Amino acid sequence: MNVDSALPTFVSESRELLREMEAALLACEQGNGDSEAINAIFRAAHTIKGSSGLFGLEAIVAFTHVVESVLDRVRAQTLQLDRELAAVLLECRDHMENLIGSVASNGDARSQELDTIGARLLERLAAVSGGTGTAAVTASKAPADIARRNVETWQISVRFHADVLRNGMDPLSFIRYLATLGSITALRVIDADLPEIDRFDAESCYLGFEIGLSTDADQQKIEAAFEFVRDDCTLRIAPQSQPTAVVPKQSEPKQSQSVSPQREGKQREGKAAKEAKGADNRSIRVDGDKLDHLIDLIGELVTAGATTTIAARKAGLSELNESTLRLARLVEEVRDQALKLRMVQIGPTFSRFQRIVRDVAREIGKEIRLEISGAETELDKTLIESIADPLTHLVRNAIDHGIETADVRRGRGKDAQGVLRLNACHDSGSVVIEVADDGGGLKRERIIAKAIERGLIADGSSLTDSQAYALIFEPGFSTADQVTNLSGRGVGMDVVKRNVAALRGTVELESREGQGATVRIRLPLTLAIIDGFLVGVGNACFVIPLELVEECVELGEEGRSIDEECRYINLRGAVLPFIRLRDLFAVQGPKARRESIVVIRCAGKRIGIVVDDLLGELQTVIKPLSRLFSRLRGIGGSTVLGTGQLALILDVPSLLEQTLSTRAPGISAQPMAEAATEHGPAS
Amino acid sequence: MNQDIQGRNEVLRLHGEMTIYRAGELAQQVLSALRQQPLPHIDLSEVTEFDTAGMQILLLAHRFAAASEMRLAIVNPSECVREVLTLCNLTHLIDAQAELAS
């Protein structure tokens, strides 16, 4: 095994384990920890120690070993995992994460600073757990307990498979752990399988053990001692009163469904372990760059496919047409599947907030519970990565300013413990992520007063509630009475808005004074490819995201003749504001004889877009605009059509926002037109 | 790892870890000592860590010596070696007599 190339895998796997460990520790701290959680914590520490050993990371092994021994006692139920211990263990976990982080960046976990922190933590751990003495402490304690309970003697027969050592397990540690369950009355090492010296492989295990164990633990618990080597050993446990011949490698049907008794054959015992393993094996790690490259290629494939389809149609060969259609359908499926590869559940991102909520709430002395729903909602990996920061801002804001202190809450007749909710769901082609709290909500007057003070508005009386709330997304706006070290410095909400907008998303805010506030982030499902609706204006082509298109209607004489200032029509009795792309982007070219309106629904609002031609649906690979056009609003990207022509993709949410705000006097569409001309030469 | 010559007996003194990480290398050294020397002594006083892989090497060496009717002396086990051998009821591997002699 090439150790260096495996290091990144070690780092990422360890981080994953540490996340599980954190979740389980938090559950334990809140009193919701069961044996499953304790096992998860132990497993994380155990595995990290084992793998660190393989890489020779002594600092991690040494530290984790102490943590593991404490956890071992928790697992053996000789030590109670209470709040205090869980809190220290959480800090130990953090230290392990730092150690691993240091390995990831410097290739080594040794540094003066880390060593000092580690030593201090271990001292505290020793204080809380009553000494970090390992097996010896518990072993001497356990037999005393045994006298009181139902003690039985078990015959344990275990044969380790050849790979157990290579898998980072030391059979001796399981024997030592058994000693903590009771007292070992007999132990014999079975070395019958040791080969001749020239066939001896020092890294293979050839040993087995026959152990007599006197304990009050039941069979399940004894089996659990071997949980980590289930796949790497053949285990047989029987009460000694029931005399059974000890035959190596012959298994009782009850405990193992061994198919192949041969030595290399992997024998799996314990259904749960087997299933868990199965689930592990179903997923593989893929380098993110490879995936991005694949998506990129598929994007090109989609474009090339479109070109072929057009060429085939022009050629007028029915056979060719048929096969290109079949090809197009396959490409579409491949595209969908490839995009799904990038989809990951938001759950782990949400779970990370358990810790943030706990730490922050504790720091500022509030009682807050985090509720998570919709954790299984999937969205593009890039989006998940980019949304974590804005979410953190929102969560901190809600904890800091939203939820009141326990005293205030009691005074208002609320439950002393505040609730913060994170929710995610799919909603017509986009993902909605909500951060909701049951705190004080936003205070309209305070926001308006502050906005006037900052010179953002002149007078707030005409603003609707949602317009007033939207002010907090303005740069440099903060209404917190108190500046804490978490938030309240006036940065945050504007950053959130900017980050979300960069992902082609929107932010909405809903609030009820005294009852809480909800921030709703709406994001597209993916960033790479969209189903688009192609429209033509003059000689230019534009793409509208298809999922937003509601219907297309012809713009009648009534709509064309009305004066330019009044931009709305009567659509079956409802008012529909509309914009002309021709005016908006100052498109040159002769006016078309007929015009159509594409009706679009976005974020609960409807708007019509007036275009010359409706050119139909197409799959569109989004090519981001260069940084030169980053300030350009209303355009989200570009795409190359099958004909080689360039089409601009409309950024409908920002278009909508701008159009609706241009209806207010004083702001004109002028900048847009300039920007469009500026963009002209590139297309 | 040093190979010291002490008197007539050739002593193979193992240092440091006697674990899976170095098992291959250690097995080579122990086995070549067994092949080349009439009265091999393996001194374990400087062993700082000892696991199943280490124990396996001792067991193998012991069995090989017994089969070829050769006298192998495993001497001066360090604390960690003794702990493992005691746990596994394998203290008979240690040659107390040779320990006294050397």
Q: What pLDDT is attached to residue B2? A: 44
Q: What pLDDT is attached to residue A285? A: 75
Note whether A306 and A298 are within 8 A (CB): no
Q: Is A320 exposed, middle or buried (0-12, 13-18, 19+ CB in 10 A)?
A: middle
Note whether B37 and B10 are within 8 A (CB): yes
DSSP string, A645-677: -EEEEE-HHHHHHHHHHHTSTT--SHHHHHHHH
Q: What pLDDT is attached to residue A373? A: 92
Is residue A559 very low, low, confident or very high in pLDDT (cuts 50, 70, 90)? low
Q: Which residues of B touch A170 (CB under 8 A)?
A: 20, 51-52
> What pLDDT digit, counting tens, does each position of A368-382 carry?
888 999 988 888 887
DSSP string, A144-195: HHHTTS--EEEEEEEEE-TTTTTTT--HHHHHHHHHHHEEEEEEEEE-TT--
Distance CA(A168)–CA(A64), nearest Å, equals 15
The residue with tokens 């304790």 is A38
Give the phi and the psi of residue A560 in degrees, each rounded to 5: -80, -35
> What pLDDT digit, counting tens, does each position of A45-81 carry?
888 888 887 777 888 888 888 888 888 888 877 888 8
Q: Say yes or no to pLDDT of A529 above 90.
A: no
How near does any CA of chain B get to the CA of A174, in Å?
11
Give the phi and the psi of residue A402 in degrees, each rounded to 5: -75, -60
Distance CA(B27)–CA(B14), nearest Å, equals 11
Task: Say which range, A184-198, A533-547, A558-572, A640-654, has the weakest mean pLDDT.
Answer: A558-572
Percent of chain A with pLDDT over 90: 3
Question: At a CB cut-off of 8 Å and minimum separation 6, what does B13 contact?
Answer: B1, B2, B3, B4, B42, B43, B45, B46
Q: Which residues of A touch B21 (CB under 8 A)?
A: 53-54, 56
Mutate to test the interface with B, among A174, A177, A197 (most CBs of B within 10 A): A197
Q: Say yes or no to pLDDT of A154 above 50.
A: yes
Q: Which residues of B touch A206 (CB under 8 A)?
A: 56
Q: What pLDDT is attached to residue A379? A: 84
Q: Which residues of A touch B64 (CB under 8 A)?
A: 197
How would you classify the pairing of strands B9-18 and B41-50? Answer: parallel
Residues on B contacting A at a C-beta cutoff of 8 Å: 20-21, 23-24, 26-27, 31, 34, 51-53, 55-57, 59-60, 63-64, 84, 87-90
Mutate to test the interface with A, among B21, B52, B91 (most CBs of A within 10 A): B52
Give the E-state strand segments of A374-505 in sequence order. Answer: 378-380, 418-427, 430-437
A207·B52 Cβ contact <8 A: yes
> What pLDDT digit, counting tens, does each position of A18-42 carry?
988 888 888 888 777 787 888 888 8
With helix as H, strand as E and coil as C, how does A415-429 read? CCCEEEEEEEEEECC
Q: What pLDDT is attached to residue A421? A: 92
Q: Say yes or no to pLDDT of A433 above 90.
A: yes
Give the mean model confidence (pLDDT) for residues A204-220: 85
> What pLDDT digit, counting tens, does each position of A262-311 carry?
333 333 334 444 444 444 456 777 777 888 788 778 877 877 887 888 88
What's the total number of domains in chain B? Answer: 1
Instruction: Please give the structure tokens belonging to residue A612.
Output: 């010359």
Neighbours of B68 (CB within 10 A): 11
How would you classify the pairing of strands A540-545 and A646-650? Answer: parallel
- By residue range, what is the domain housing residue B20? 2-101
B26·A202 Cβ contact <8 A: yes
Question: At a CB cut-off of 8 Å and minimum separation 6, what does A178 contact?
Answer: A156, A184, A211, A213, A222, A225
Helix H segments across A489-556? 493-502
Question: At a CB cut-off of 8 Å and minimum separation 6, what does A484 contact?
Answer: A364, A400
Instruction: Please give the structure tokens belonging to residue A189.
Output: 């090492």
Which residue of chain B comes nearest to A56, CA vs CA? B21
Give the E-state strand segments of A298-355 in sequence order. Answer: 343-345
> What pLDDT digit, counting tens, does each position of A613-652 carry?
888 888 777 776 766 776 777 787 888 776 767 888 888 8
**CA A497 to chain centroid:** 20
Distance CA(B87)–CA(A212), nearest Å, equals 13
> What pLDDT digit, counting tens, does each position of A404-428 carry?
888 888 888 888 888 999 999 887 6
Neighbours of A526 (CB within 10 A): 20
Task: Say which range, A120-124, A258-262, A539-543, has the weakest mean pLDDT.
Answer: A258-262
CATH number for position B15: 3.30.750.24
| Residue among A53, A187, A206 minimizing CB distance to B88 | A187
Q: What pLDDT is attached to residue B98? A: 63
Note whether A569 and A555 are within 8 A (CB): yes
Task: Say which range, A455-464, A552-561, A588-597, B60-69, has the weakest mean pLDDT.
Answer: A552-561
Question: For A211-229, b where at least 16 C-beta lie within 10 A, e where not — what string?
Answer: bebbbbbeeeebbbbbbbb
Distance CA(A105)–CA(A86), nearest Å, equals 28
Three-state DSSP class for residue A286: coil
The pTM of the full predicted model, rounded to 2 decimals, is 0.47
For residue B35, give the amino acid letter. R
Across chain A, mean pLDDT equals 76
How near does any CA of chain B get to the CA of A106, in Å?
23
Q: What pLDDT is attached to residue A563? A: 53
> What pLDDT digit, counting tens, does each position of A92-113 carry?
998 898 888 888 887 777 777 8
Q: What pLDDT is attached to residue A411? A: 87
B88·A203 Cβ contact <8 A: no
Instruction: Please give the structure tokens belonging to residue A306.
Output: 């479109």
